[in-house]
Amino acid sequence: MWAFSELPMPLLINFIVSLLGFVATVTLIPAFRGHFIAARLCGQDLNKTSRQQMCPPCHLLHDLPGLCG
C-alpha cells in the first residue's frame, strides 16, 4: 500500500503549504467580508438573480463550486 513516507519531501512540503493556504483562504475571506463592504470595496454579481453586495474575494469563494463542476 502507498504510504506518505515513500513520497519525496518537497512534495509533502508543497502539499502541506497548499493545504494551509486553502484553509486560510476559506476562513479569512468570509471573516473580512464586513471590512470590505465598510470600505466600499464591493460589487454586485450580475449573473445572479439576487442583488446582494459581495466583496471581490467573496466572488471567488461564491463561484468556487461552479468552477469545480
Residue-wise pLDDT for 7-63, tens only, equals 788 888 999 999 999 998 888 878 877 777 777 766 666 666 766 666 665 555 555
* 44 contacts 59 by C-beta, under 8 angstroms: no
Task: Return the beta strands (E) in the chain as ranges.
Answer: 43-44, 53-54
* 53 contacts 43 by C-beta, under 8 angstroms: yes
Its pTM stands at 0.49
- How far is C-alpha 69 from the geometric centre of its chain's CA atoms? 16
pLDDT of residue 62: 56
pLDDT of residue 11: 87
Report the C-alpha gap between 37 and 54 in whole angstroms.
7
